Structure 1
Amino acid sequence: MNKTFKIYAVIFIVVMIIIALFEVNKTESTDWRKNFDLNQKSPFGLFVFDHEIKNLFKNKVKKIDQTPYDYYNQNKKESHNILVIESEIDRQSWNKILNAVSTGSDAMLIVSEIPRDISDSIGYYDSKISFEDENVLKLTDTKYQNDFIKLDKFPSGRGFTFIKPNVEVLGKTVEKNNTDQANFIKIKFGKGNIYVHCEPLFITNYYLLKPGNVKYTQDVFSYLEDKETLWFVESNSKTSQFFLRFILSNPALKYAWWVLLGGLVLFIFFNAKRKQRIVPVIEPLKNTSVDFVKSIGNLYLQEGDFHDMMAKKAQYFLNKVRMDLLIDTQNLDEEFAKKLQLKTGKPMEMINEAVGFIKKAQDPYASVMKEDLGRMNKLLDEILK
């Protein structure tokens, strides 16, 4: 384990300990995001509404996990109700909904906004009309005067600023410092009706669980006739399948995710500097001359030709004497022995014995033993040392 890795490990452990301490000591926070998710129990989820809608529509509601465009291309339905709650629906699907309404169906759109060309074709214009922290939702029908909802948490403040004459106002937003503003309308469209409510908060968990608020919700949906209702939830189901949604919705997992990404960034940053490439070890060329000589020598020994080996050794020795000591080797007589003794400084007895072995090696009829070869080789090497 190198030093750099140890440093990274220590930094990572320290960061994780700090995060753990923050997690232990922090107070539980409430998720106030307006997710309108059927599976979320957070304040602005639709978990309660999803479980109570069957009672609200007398078990005549059916969830559709397709886009309206895909569904109506595959199915032909008689007159029915259409329910859309704060879903991201494409323009082609909106057109399919309008086509179904024009043939006799009714649509309840509980959305903060829809595409401008669609709303213009229906007969209204919606926008942000208030920034008050609180307001009250009421219905205009006198029989519903006692049923209302007080929005005390993050109202959208949206309303209808332009309404065509054929549009009926069914509900309004009441504020202290502003005039009443329409937020729930009914539009006759072909053979059917379109109901648009631009404040979806009234069906979220937070407001449905407050005492007295359920009655307002029942009043709003009472405008729909008692027939099969198709609830298009395709957008919500798609969103919940995104793997990061679960991680980012859980605070502990979210912190761990960001720490992981931060650690990867730091790791890349500190390792991005240029490092010297490893210099490969190049083995030097091996001198095989000695191995070659040993192989040749072993070959001669296996053949048992000691006389030939002595002759070659003698020839090599005499060549070295001529080249290095500059002594004539034509006659191996007493004068040669004296010159060799003077040049090498070796005893005369060793010189005479070596000369004798050389003459024996040069005699093709001499009998040579293995011991003679060994003794001669030792003498000649000693003289030239």
Structure 2
Amino acid sequence: MNKTFKIYAVIFIVVMIILALFEVNKAETTDWRKNFDINQKSPFGLYVFNHEVNTLFKNKIKKINQTPYDYYQSEKKPHNILVIEEDIDTESWGKILDQVSEGSDAMLIVSEMPKEVSDSIGYYDSQISFEDKNVLKLTDKKYQNDFIHLDKFPSGRGFTFIKPGVEVLGKTVEKNNSDQANFIKIKFGQGNIYVHCEPLFISNYYLLKRGNVKYAQDIFSYLDDRETVWFVENDAKVSQFFLRFILSNPALKYAWWVLLGGLVLFIFFNAKRKQRIVPIIEPLKNTSVDFVKSIGNLYLQEGDFHDMMAKKAQYFLNKIRMDLLIDTQNLDEEFAKKLHLKTGKPIEMIDEAIKLIKKAQDPYAQVMKEDLAKMNKLLDEII
């Protein structure tokens, strides 16, 4: 490692330590944007609502990441429809209104009444107050003890024009302004449309406050106890990028960029280095087979067939003891019977093999080349 490389390495390490200290001491900022995203844990995301929605709707909720226009291509039986701050096209709103007219109920939790809906059911103007606090209450007496205090960026929206026949179910109460409707019910065909113009009540920040869940339960209790279809466009927009988890975590993201920076510097400082030639090392040859052939040729040249038969017999009997667990002390009828049962070979073949083994063990027996070949063949067939 040359001197220049050491200097740059030290500079890089010092810079990384300084950046790490800045990162550690940096105050964490809270994202107060009203994103209403089911995957966001920020105060005004819907992460908590998304995880508790099955309980709120008694496991009768069905999340759809298609547009209503695509989903309602086939006929559906009457059901509940839930839309929360989604950007829905005109054709899809038409499909939703068609379903409501045929007996479904739609719950729209939106800060502004969609133009496609207001044009169909009658114009509803809305006004905005600039109070920094207000209270959401329901008009039904049985819910009079259930309300929510909004103390963080309330929209202050409410309906200023209510046509006859529209039922006001909830209102916004402010200290310096008159009460204004924020939750209404409109009869449309055979179904109903419910509109709540303050989505903050289902955000993470307010659902996690004690007692506020009851208000949300009251709102959704106006829907019939049946299947509810929730159109969740954001659910289809979750990034599938393989680094999504790393880049979403500040600490892991910082470590990832440090790693990439280190790799770039390493490649830069080592670009001119040349790889030395790696010598080719021939693998060691297996000479066992050649050795065996040499020993075999030596025995053939000597013509000592008796010794070769004895060694073959000794090897065979040792294999019988080790593999078949048969005692080879006495090569009698009992031995032949056990060998026949364990190998399944004909008893005649085994008797002939035993005869040749005994001949090989007899130091005074006359052994011919043919005897060696015959015994070798028999023993190889037996085991």
Counterparts of 2:97 and 2:208, CA distance in 1 = 33
Bigger Cα displacement from structure 2, 87-96 vs 248-257? 248-257
Counterparts of 2:257 and 2:107, CA distance in 1 = 40
What is the correspondence of 1:184-195 to structure 2 with a 5 Å cutoff? 184-195=183-194
Cα drift, residue 19 of structure 1: 4.1
Q: Contact (CA 8 Å) 1:123, 1:167: kept in 2 or not? A: no
Which residue in the other structure is 1:36 paired with? 36
> What are the superposed Cα offsets for residues 260-296 of structure 1, whole Å, 9 maximum, x if unpaired?
xxx9xxxxxxxxxxxxxxxxxxxxxxxxxxxxxxxxx
| TM-aligned CA distance change 1:246 to 1:113, over 3 Å | farther
- SS across alignment from 2:161: strand
Which residue in the other structure is 1:162 paired with? 161
What is the correspondence of 1:47-86 to structure 2 with a 5 Å cutoff? 47-73=47-73, 75-86=74-85
One-letter amino acid matched to 2:203: T
- SS across alignment from 2:193: strand
> What are the superposed Cα offsets for residues 325-377 of structure 1, whole Å, 9 maximum, x if unpaired?
xxxxxxxxxxxxxxxxxxxxxxxxxxxxxxxxxxxxxxxxxxxxxxxxxxxxx
One-letter amino acid matched to 1:113: E
One-letter amino acid matched to 1:179: S
Which residue in the other structure is 2:173 paired with? 174
Q: Contact (CA 8 Å) 1:136, 1:149: kept in 2 or not? A: yes
What is the correspondence of 1:169-248 to structure 2 with a 5 Å cutoff? 169-233=168-232, 235-241=233-239
Counterparts of 2:140 and 2:108, CA distance in 1 = 19
Q: How many residue pairs get matched?
A: 260
> What are the superposed Cα offsets for residues 179-223 of structure 1, whole Å, 9 maximum, x if unpaired?
111110101011100000011111111111111111111110110
Bigger Cα displacement from structure 2, 99-108 vs 241-250? 241-250
Counterparts of 2:11 and 2:66, CA distance in 1 = 48
- SS across alignment from 1:163: coil
> What are the superposed Cα offsets for residues 18-75 of structure 1, whole Å, 9 maximum, x if unpaired?
54332111222222222222222222222221222212211111111111000001x3
Cα drift, residue 251 of structure 1: 5.1
Which residue in the other structure is 2:24 paired with? 24
Counterparts of 1:12 and 1:179, CA distance in 2 = 63
Counterparts of 1:97 and 1:199, CA distance in 2 = 21
One-letter amino acid matched to 2:234: N
Structure 1 residue runs of 5 or longer lacking an equivalent are 1-7, 264-385
State which structure, 1 or 2, has the greater radius of gyration over its C-alpha atoms: 1
One-letter amino acid matched to 1:120: D
Q: Contact (CA 8 Å) 1:66, 1:232: kept in 2 or not? A: yes
Q: Contact (CA 8 Å) 1:126, 1:158: kept in 2 or not? A: no
Counterparts of 1:161 and 1:11, CA distance in 2 = 65
Counterparts of 1:82 and 1:252, CA distance in 2 = 40
Using structure 2 for the length normalisation, give the TM-score.
0.59
Cα drift, residue 9 of structure 1: 11
Using structure 1 for the length normalisation, give the TM-score.
0.59
| TM-aligned CA distance change 1:162 to 1:250, over 3 Å | farther
> What are the superposed Cα offsets for residues 77-100 of structure 1, whole Å, 9 maximum, x if unpaired?
111100111112111111110110
Counterparts of 2:134 and 2:104, CA distance in 1 = 32
Counterparts of 1:153 and 1:129, CA distance in 2 = 15
Q: Name the Cα RMSD after superposition.
A: 3.4
Counterparts of 1:163 and 1:254, CA distance in 2 = 51
Structure 2 residue runs of 5 or longer lacking an equivalent are 1-7, 262-383
Counterparts of 1:230 and 1:12, CA distance in 2 = 55
> What are the superposed Cα offsets for residues 128-185 of structure 1, whole Å, 9 maximum, x if unpaired?
4111111100001111111000011111222112222121111111111111111101
Bigger Cα displacement from structure 2, 171-180 vs 24-33? 24-33
| TM-aligned CA distance change 1:112 to 1:245, over 3 Å | farther
Which residue in the other structure is 1:107 paired with? 106
One-letter amino acid matched to 1:39: N
Cα drift, residue 112 of structure 1: 1.1
Q: Contact (CA 8 Å) 2:118, 2:124: kept in 1 or not? A: yes
